[in-house]
Amino acid sequence: MAKASSSSLNHDAAAKRVAELVDELNRHRRAYYEGNTALISDAEYDELQKELEALENQFPELITGDSPTQTVGGAVNQAFAPVEHLDRMMSLDNVFSFDEFRAWAERVGDGPYLCELKIDGLAVNLRYLNGELVSAATRGDGVVGEDVTANVLTIKSIPKKLKGSGHPAQVEVRGEIFFGVEDFAKLNEGLVAEGKAPFANPRNSASGSLRQKDPRVTASRPLQMLVHGIGAWADAPVRNQSDLYHLLAKWGLPTTDKFRVLNSVDEVLQYIDEFEKKRHKLEHEIDGVVVKIDALEKQGQLGFTSRAPRWAIAYKYAPEQVNTKLLDIRVSVGRTGRATPYAVVQPVKVAGSVVEFATLHNQDVVKAKGVLIGDTVVIRKAGDVIPEILGPVVELRDGTEKPFVMPSLCPDCDSPLAPSSEGDVDLRCQNSKACPAQLRERVAYLGSRGVLDIEALGYVAACALTQPLDDAAAPLKSEADLFDLTLEQLLPIRAAVLDPDTGLPKLDDSGQPKIVDFFRKKDGSPAEVALKLLKNLEEAKTKPLWRILVALSIRHVGPVAARSLTSYFGSLEKIFNASEEELSKVDGVGQTLAQSIKEWIAVDWHREIVDRWRKAGVLLEVPGHAGPGAGDSAGGVFAGLTIVATGSLKAFTREEIEEAIISNGGKAASSVSKKTSFVVAGENAGSKLAKAESLGVEVISEEEFQRRLNG
């Protein structure tokens, strides 16, 4: 739909646009409030509403009674009995920037301002007569709501009888019913596991869970409530909104502990900032902050518009959910051959960055999410989390959408895709030696910081070495070739630049795949990166043995297991010659892992990697190691101790602290048990810290660790 700037319209054009907007917004409200679904994102909705407000401001004579700027919510669903509220339930006006907030504060005058979180749930009105809950209703159109008393009674935190005494003959308590973030994730996981469509967001799930004909369904959903206002109380014995909250809390009603009464606009802006940063650390979703004039008398003077109080305002945060088109679903193949479907979407900006792709994990997830190629889909990107497709907007289908079919062949090498073991949902390309995608990913992995840490071997270099334009010139046919690379091999390589997220070529400005001379300057002389790569490879030959072992990409052998194995056995040869039982003796090495090692070394081309690396001069043992089991008694300040590090540390990366533990005779374990000697806890330590505390295992700070390290 064409959007025109309001100032450019004459009266007739404005009238036409106003009528369109009223119709469209009301259509979206019906879907949202009556159908628990959204045809457009909240941001798009707010955008339309803003446009309407601007036009109505300019041409007040165009305001009609059914304009969404004048009314609240939607109609009442016939499945529920109607309940007339004693006092009308209102909406809130919105602001989207500090400037808009300042303008509001200017209009209403001085504080104190009560600031609280805008919970993304649905509003409910609880009516108490002499302390007894007699009805609970949704907001509806603000005048009449839906009777959900039986459903609300299943929510544990809502008292049927208020605590204390002296309750008013009649009072309405308003609040928000919502899903906690973790409960919401669990609910959706469960739905996906049952093959059902997950809810697009916690608000929809709260609304859908509360508005059930059968209260037993509601009872099975862990809904919560926080109260944030009152209606119909003739002579409330309090003077401020904040006093009211204290009183409601005394009565046993669930109130928030996050509200703050602040005097200046600047402090309010700080509060808004603070919670925008903490947004994803809260137990429930918020879409903004609500600021209210604290003094009830002043609230009374300011009064209401036809849809919202003048004494309160919602500051809305940037949206994290947008709608876009699902253009295609493709499959990428990873380091272990796993084939992962991912979505290609119409590029769209959300939470500050442009999203073009989103993972879909596996074919079961695609099915459970119910998305078809060509659908309008809801994309969510919360903070730094990778973008996720929540689901389709089914109502917008036109019949041209097509289901995704998981391919039976690898998109990169045409070998069959099959599960590695029975019952595994993941399909894998079985051609691990020659599949170009797997080789590229393995090479990129072994160059990464946590493995051989070869600075000049990043993702693009890995692409160039394994998949140059001229396949025949690829210097790496397998990682066996890695340490034999020569400058002569590197110089001629021309390669497309691939995107690490998708493995697809990046495009240049003209839309063609971007091709680069990777290792050569324009004049034909070696580029810096070529010389650096060879130097880095030389250095990598003597890296700690555990890094070499991890570089082999043996399934399940990550840094922690590799450290245990190499410090126990002291050489690759001894590890590969050990029986499954011997391997399983090593701390942290289970049967799956032992088996995986045996299977790996049984493969010819795997043994060839080890042989060629040895011949190229790679150090395949721990210097001075006295043989299997010796690592345990190697001495050092941590000899005989099992140590777990958790949380974020200041002076060490995770690898560095493990290195420090191991090279001083200790064992670096990844999980806390009774055998753990002590836990080093950095900032934001979570479940491991809790486990240590519950087991009575000693917990020390990073500083204390350093003291012990230095003897």
Ligand X SMILES: NC(=O)c1ccc[n+]([C@@H]2O[C@H](COP(=O)([O-])OP(=O)(O)OC[C@H]3O[C@@H](n4cnc5c(N)ncnc54)[C@H](O)[C@@H]3O)[C@@H](O)[C@H]2O)c1
Contacts with ligand X, residue ranges (CB under 6 A): 28-29, 32, 38-42, 45-46, 73, 91-92, 94, 116, 118-119, 123, 139, 176, 228-229, 290, 314
CA atoms within 13 A on the CB side of 155: 26
Tell me: is residue 292 an annotated ligand-binding position: yes
Nearer to ligand X, 73 or 392 (CB): 73
Q: CA-based angle 593:596:600, to the nearest 5?
A: 145
Report which DSSP code applies to 520.
Answer: B
Tell me: is residue 156 an annotated ligand-binding position: no
Residue 602's contacts (CB-CB under 8 Å, 6 or more residues apart) are none
Nearer to ligand X, 322 or 427 (CB): 322
First to last CA, the chain: 71
Bridge partners of residue 95, in order along the sequence: 315
Nearer to ligand X, 229 or 468 (CB): 229
Provide, rounded to whole angstroms, the least separation between the CB of residue 624 and Zn ion. 42
Residue 313 binding partner per list Zn ion, ligand X, none, with a CB distance cut-off of 5 to 8 Å that depends on partner kind? none
Tell me: is residue 46 an annotated ligand-binding position: yes
Provide, rounded to whole angstroms, the least separation between the CB of residue 32 and ligand X. 3
Provide, rounded to whole angstroms, the least separation between the CB of residue 219 and ligand X. 22
Alpha-carbon span 34 to 207, nearest angstrom: 10
Residue 435 binding partner per list ligand X, Zn ion, none, with a CB distance cut-off of 5 to 8 Å that depends on partner kind? Zn ion
Report which DSSP code applies to 378.
Answer: E
Bridge partners of residue 225, in order along the sequence: 177
Torsion of CA 91, 93, 94, 95, to 10 degrees: -160
* Radius of gyration in angstroms for the set of CA atoms belonging to the chain, rounded to a whole number: 31
Alpha-carbon span 138 to 76, nearest angstrom: 9
Q: Quick one: tokens of 268?
A: 């309010």
CB-based burial, 577-598: b 16+ in 10 Å, e otherwise: ebeeebbeebbbbeeebbebbe
Phi (first) and psi of residue 321, to 5 degrees? -125, 130
Residue 410 binding partner per list Zn ion, ligand X, none, with a CB distance cut-off of 5 to 8 Å that depends on partner kind? Zn ion
**Spatial contact of 360 and 389, defined as CB atoms under 8 Å apart:** yes
Distance set, CA 119 to CA 116, 123, 263, 329 (Å): 9, 10, 23, 34
Provide, rounded to whole angstroms, the least separation between the CB of residue 337 and Zn ion. 7
Nearer to ligand X, 115 or 589 (CB): 115
Q: Is 42 in the site for Zn ion (CB under 5 A)?
A: no
Binding mask 214-243 for Zn ion (x = CB under 5 A): ------------------------------
**Residue nearest ligand X by beta-carbon distance:** 123
Alpha-carbon span 450 to 377, nearest angstrom: 36
Which H/E stretch holds residue 249?
Answer: helix 241-250
Tell me: is residue 463 an annotated ligand-binding position: no
Among 206, 312, 345, 435, which residue interacts with Zn ion (rule: CB under 5 A)?
435
Nearer to ligand X, 262 or 529 (CB): 262
Residue 285 binding partner per list ligand X, Zn ion, none, with a CB distance cut-off of 5 to 8 Å that depends on partner kind? none
Nearer to ligand X, 225 or 597 (CB): 225
Tell me: is residue 176 an annotated ligand-binding position: yes
Nearest-10 crossing angle of helices 42-58, 11-29: 150
The active-site residue, picked from 16, 50, 118, 433, is: 118
Provide, rounded to whole angstroms, the least separation between the CB of residue 30 and ligand X. 9
Alpha-carbon span 92 to 313, nearest angstrom: 6
Alpha-carbon span 451 to 597, nearest angstrom: 18
Tell me: is residue 92 an annotated ligand-binding position: yes
Known catalytic residue at 118? yes
> What are the strands, taking DSSP E only, across 252-373?
260-262, 286-293, 312-316, 321-333, 338-350, 353-359
Nearer to ligand X, 236 or 405 (CB): 236
**In sequence order, what DSSP letters do the residues of 427-487 get, joined into one string?**
EEES-TTT-HHHHHHHHHHHHSTTTT--TT--HHHHHHHHS-SSGGG-S-SSGGGGGG--H
Q: Is 53 helix (H, G, I), strand (E, B) or coil?
A: helix
Residue 116 binding partner per list ligand X, Zn ion, none, with a CB distance cut-off of 5 to 8 Å that depends on partner kind? ligand X
Nearer to ligand X, 228 or 440 (CB): 228
Site for Zn ion (CB under 5 A): how many residues?
A: 6
Residue 529 binding partner per list Zn ion, ligand X, none, with a CB distance cut-off of 5 to 8 Å that depends on partner kind? none
Distance of CA 274 to the CA centre of its chain: 20
Tell me: is residue 43 an annotated ligand-binding position: yes
Nearer to ligand X, 73 or 468 (CB): 73
Alpha-carbon span 637 to 620, nearest angstrom: 26
Tell me: is residue 116 an annotated ligand-binding position: yes
Single out the segment in contact with Zn ion by CB under 5 A; choices: 395-403, 433-441, 548-556, 573-581.
433-441
Bridge partners of residue 378, in order along the sequence: 323, 391
Phi (first) and psi of residue 236, to 5 degrees? -60, 135
- The residues in 368-427 that bind Zn ion, with binding defined as CB under 5 A, are 410, 412-413
Alpha-carbon span 607 to 322, nearest angstrom: 50
Nearer to Zn ion, 435 or 474 (CB): 435
> Which of 512, 505, 502 minimizes the C-alpha distance to 329?
502
Tell me: is residue 48 an annotated ligand-binding position: no
Provide, rounded to whole angstroms, the least separation between the CB of residue 668 and ligand X. 46
Residue 667 binding partner per list Zn ion, ligand X, none, with a CB distance cut-off of 5 to 8 Å that depends on partner kind? none
Residue 38 binding partner per list ligand X, Zn ion, none, with a CB distance cut-off of 5 to 8 Å that depends on partner kind? ligand X
Alpha-carbon span 187 to 190, nearest angstrom: 5
Residues present in the chain in total = 711
Residue 412 binding partner per list ligand X, Zn ion, none, with a CB distance cut-off of 5 to 8 Å that depends on partner kind? Zn ion
Provide, rounded to whole angstroms, the least separation between the CB of residue 439 and Zn ion. 9
**Spatial contact of 116 and 175, defined as CB atoms under 8 Å apart:** no
Among 48, 355, 429, 545, which residue interacts with Zn ion (rule: CB under 5 A)?
429
Residue 46 binding partner per list Zn ion, ligand X, none, with a CB distance cut-off of 5 to 8 Å that depends on partner kind? ligand X
Nearer to ligand X, 309 or 475 (CB): 309
Tell me: is residue 102 an annotated ligand-binding position: no
Tell me: is residue 44 an annotated ligand-binding position: yes
Provide, rounded to whole angstroms, the least separation between the CB of residue 370 and ligand X. 19
Q: CA-based angle 535:540:543, to the nearest 5?
A: 145
Tell me: is residue 413 an annotated ligand-binding position: yes
Residue 119 binding partner per list Zn ion, ligand X, none, with a CB distance cut-off of 5 to 8 Å that depends on partner kind? ligand X
Binding residues: 42-46, 91-92, 116, 139, 176, 292, 316, 410, 413, 429, 435
Binding residues for Zn(2+): 410, 413, 429, 435
For the annotated catalytic residues, the residue numbers are 118
- Positions in the binding site for Zn ion (CB under 5 A): 410, 412-413, 429, 431, 435
